[in-house]
Amino acid sequence: MKTLNVNIDHVATIREARGGKEPDPVNAALIAELAGASGIVCHLREDRRHIHDRDVKILREVIQTKLDLEMAAHEEIINIALNIKPDLVTIVPEGRMELTTEGGLDVAGNPELFKSLVNRMHDKGIEVSFFVEPEQKQIDASLKAGADMVELHTGTYANASDKNSLSNELYRIKKSSTLAHNAGLKVAAGHGINYINIKPLCLIPEIIEFSIGHSLISRAIHVGIERATREMIDVINTSTLHRGLNK
Ligand code: PXP
C-alpha cells in the first residue's frame, strides 16, 4: 500500500506572512494525522523562512505517526536533527534564493560527505532518505552512501508541458523506482504532485510513499473557506445577539 506524508511548510509560510502565531503548522499536522496521513514532513531551512526550530521540537513531541525532517547537509541543521531525532531525514539541496527545492541532490558529487552524514544519523537511529533526480548515477551513489530510502524528484514530471516530455519523465521515474527497489532502497516520490498528476505515479508498484505539500494545502484553502466564512458570520451573529444589537 502507498502512503501519504503531508508537508506542512506552507502553513508556516502563511503564519510568517504576519509574523504571529496562526496558523500553527503543528495544529495542521495533528489534523492531517487524524485524517489518515502516515507521516508529517517539514523543511527546516537555514534561513528559517517558514518552519522554525520550535515547530520541529513540538512536532517531535506530538506526532504519533512519522516525522520526516527535510534538511540540507548543513552542520547547524545536522546537529539540530541529531538532537531532535526525527524518524527520517530527507536530505535536499538548498539554495538561498530559490522559492522551493529546485532539483535533486548531487549525492554522486560528494560521496564521502553523504556517507558520513548517513553514519551520523544511523548512530542516533534516524533513517535517511536522499531527494534525488530519477537517475541511475544518483541511486547508485545513494546506495553506496548507505541511505535507507530515495525520494525521487517528480518536479520535472509535474512541470512537463507536452505529452512527449511527460511520458519521458514518467518513464525515468518508473525505471529509477525499479532500480532503487531492486537495490534494496525504499522508494518515495515528491515535488509538484497534485490531485491529477499523482494518478500515473500510483501505478508504479515500487513507490511506497508520497510527500505532498503545495497542492494539498492549496486544496485545504478551497475546501475550508466556506466553513470558515460561515463560522465567522455565526460569531458575528451570536455576539451581537447576546448584546441585543442584532436588530
Ligand atoms: N519532497 C521534497 C524533498 C521537497 O523539497 C518538497 C517541497 O518542500 C516536497 C516533497 C513537496 O513538494 P510540493 O510542495 O510541491 O508538494
Question: What's 138's domain CATH number?
Answer: 3.20.20.70
C-alpha 152 to ligand 1 mean position (Å)? 11
Number of domains forming the structure of the chain: 1
Closest C-alpha to ligand 1, atom 5 = 101
Q: Is 214 a catalytic residue?
A: no
Is residue 236's pLDDT more than 70?
A: yes
Average pLDDT of the chain is 95
Q: Is 43 a catalytic residue?
A: yes
Least confident of 53-67, 190-204, 233-247: 233-247
pLDDT-derived band at 98 (thresholds 50, 70, 90) equals confident
121 lines ligand 1 (CB under 6 A): no
Q: Note the pLDDT of residue 221.
A: 96
Q: Rounded distance, CA 5 to CA 11, Å?
A: 15
Task: Indicate the pTM of the whole model.
Answer: 0.95
Per-residue 3-state assignment (H helix, E strand, C coil) for 46-75: CCCCCCCHHHHHHHHHHCCCCEEEEECCCH
Q: For 9-45, what is each residue's pLDDT tens digit? A: 999 999 999 999 999 999 999 999 999 999 999 999 9
Closest CA to 40 of 12, 13, 67: 67
Q: Rounded distance, CA 221 to CA 129, Å?
A: 30
131 lines ligand 1 (CB under 6 A): yes
Among the listed residues 10, 33, 50, 70, the single catalytic one is 70
For ligand 1, pick from 7, 129, 133, 207 the residue to mutate: most ligand atoms within 8 Å of CB. Answer: 7
134: cis peptide before it, omega within 30°?
A: no
Estimate to the nearest angstrom the gap between the alpha carbon of 237 and the chain centroid: 40
pLDDT-derived band at 244 (thresholds 50, 70, 90) equals low
Q: Cell numbers for 101, please give them.
A: 527545492
Q: Cell numbers for 72, please give them.
A: 540540507
Closest C-alpha to ligand 1, atom 4 = 191
8 lines ligand 1 (CB under 6 A): no
Residue 134 identity (one-letter amino acid): P
pLDDT-derived band at 246 (thresholds 50, 70, 90) equals low
Quote the domain boundaries for residue 160: 3-245
Contact assessment for residue 223 and residue 195, using Cβ atoms and an 8 Å cutoff: no
Where do we find the cell 560528494?
110
| Rounded mean pLDDT, 122-146 | 98
Q: Is 10 a catalytic residue?
A: no
5 lines ligand 1 (CB under 6 A): no
Q: Note the pLDDT of residue 17.
A: 96
